[in-house]
A and B are shown apart, each in its own frame.
Chain A
Amino acid sequence: MNPAARPLAHIGRMAIALLAALGRVAIFAGTAAGHMLRPPFYPRELGHALLHVGWLSLPVVGLTALFTGGALALQIYAGGARFNAEAVVPQIVAIGMVRELGPVLVGLMIAARVTSSIAAEIATMKVTEQIDALVTLSTHPMKYLVVPRVIAGLLTVPVLVGVGDVIGIFGGYAVAVQNLGFNPAAYLANTVDFLEPRDILSSLAKGCAFGGIATVMGCYFGMNSGRGAQGVGRATKSSVEAAAVLILAANFVLTGVFFSL
């Protein structure tokens, strides 16, 4: 091969490998979706997944949103002061949290908390032959392990995003009222008046998409884990990386879809 073409060939190979991986993930997600609709269903597993993905993520999501909302209010106030626009704090905090930071930060926290734990758990099950054991006990791993977790992601992450939005706005409100001298009633009125249904809808839709991405990636890398402790480690790391990058990419696409039309 022409030496000059070698880097190109390398880039080409990487691109093909990336596309192949995306294809495998898409097939995996499609298979999972197919299993979602066909019995048997495992309600107990679903309950467990709802608890772990949703309820137990509340503290970390709440704290993330609270601090971010507070910091956002301070930033906007300081930035706005440069051109006498301090009064826009409630509006920008609301927009910033609901449209962008709420879903993205919750999505990333879920990638850190849920994707990693799903990947590590399923990978360990694979390495210790528990997945094989499930099959021999006439239980489809896709239905028993993957479907409940993905459904939990699709259902609870939008709710978490909603909660995060509210807490984030409250964080901004608390800082604005306590430290920046805003009138509480006026702040809330401004926030409520300013937000449109489309903002909230986009926030929840993003949450749903990110929940799906986070759980599917955890399951995919777990089910395809290599052997041994190293395999589990690698699966966990890759799942979080992939989930985080895909969440940010999906955020970009969805923002385009919702707000440039």
Chain B
Amino acid sequence: MIVMQDVHKRFGPNRVLRGMSLEIARGSSMVIIGGSGTGKSVALKCVLGLIRPDAGRILVDGQDIRTGDRDAFLARFGMLFQGAALFDSLSVWQNVAFRLLRGSLKRPVDEARAIAIEKLRRVGLKPEVADRFPSELSGGMQKRVGLARAIAAEPEIIFFDEPTTGLDPIMAGVINDLIREIVVEMGATAMTITHDMSSVRAIADRVAMLHDGVIQWTGPVAGMDAADDPYLSQFINGRADGPIEAVR
């Protein structure tokens, strides 16, 4: 269970989060939607402790993220970054198996490599890709390697920052199914950011819309279309006119 309470974060004059509160139940899949630049990625990084909020509390299973053993905390998480953030000095399989090659989850090299290749297969990449370097891959392939890396150690809590951007529709479908599978089969808690409404419908148990630094609307995915929130309806229908100014 992840709880964000009244989280604030500003960068200089730019007030990004202005009292964001959100709860994500254990084993559920939350999708965060919202305009570009509204602070969705910042919110994920706050939960992971990569960005320190100016105010507010973030609890994971009742414990404040600033207290307790940081290594044990991070060992429970997997994160796909928006820009994939692959280590370009390491080959693809070493990226995917990064966690399995060092630290508390260390495995023999052969085993780590086998796991990496299996995870690559699950995101639709062939074993030949394993020995290439990230700079030799296309953007969409890098994204999928990042996804494979996020799930490699089978974490309990997984954050996906735009998992399907830059992918063709078929591959996007494969990734949506994969995320759904991870939540349902492995019982993981997932928090996904996406702009792709078909992804939202495929992945989400619940949806939250971030706007102006606060959660504007949250509810089950089934209630999304019936909701009478003007912001939400403008967003999901992709209209240029409405309460959200298109030119910000």
Binding site for B on A (CB under 8 A): 40, 42, 125, 128-130, 132-139
Contact = CB atoms under 8 A, between A and B. Distances in A.
A130 B49 CA distance: 15
Given A133-B79, A138-B71, A139-B98, 17 more contacts: A40-B103, A42-B102, A125-B87, A128-B85, A129-B82, A129-B83, A129-B85, A132-B45, A132-B48, A133-B85, A133-B87, A135-B48, A135-B49, A136-B48, A137-B98, A138-B104, A139-B102
A119 to B, nearest CB: 16
A132 B80 CA distance: 11
B50 A136 contact: yes
A136 B77 contact: yes
A34 B71 CA distance: 18
B122 interface: no
B174 interface: no
A135 B99 contact: no
Interface in B49-108: 49-50, 71, 74-75, 77-79, 81-83, 85-88, 98-99, 102-104
Contact of B81 (A125, A132, A138, A139): A132
Contacts of B98: 137, 139
Contact of A136 (B79, B87, B103): B79
B50 A132 contact: yes
Query: 6 tightest A-B contacts by CB?
Result: A129-B85, A133-B85, A136-B79, A138-B74, A132-B50, A129-B81
A133 B82 CA distance: 11
A134 B83 CA distance: 14
Contact of A133 (B49, B71, B81): B81
B87 A130 contact: yes
A180 B86 CA distance: 58
Interface in B104-125: 104
A138 B86 CA distance: 15
Contacts of A136: 48, 50, 74, 77-79
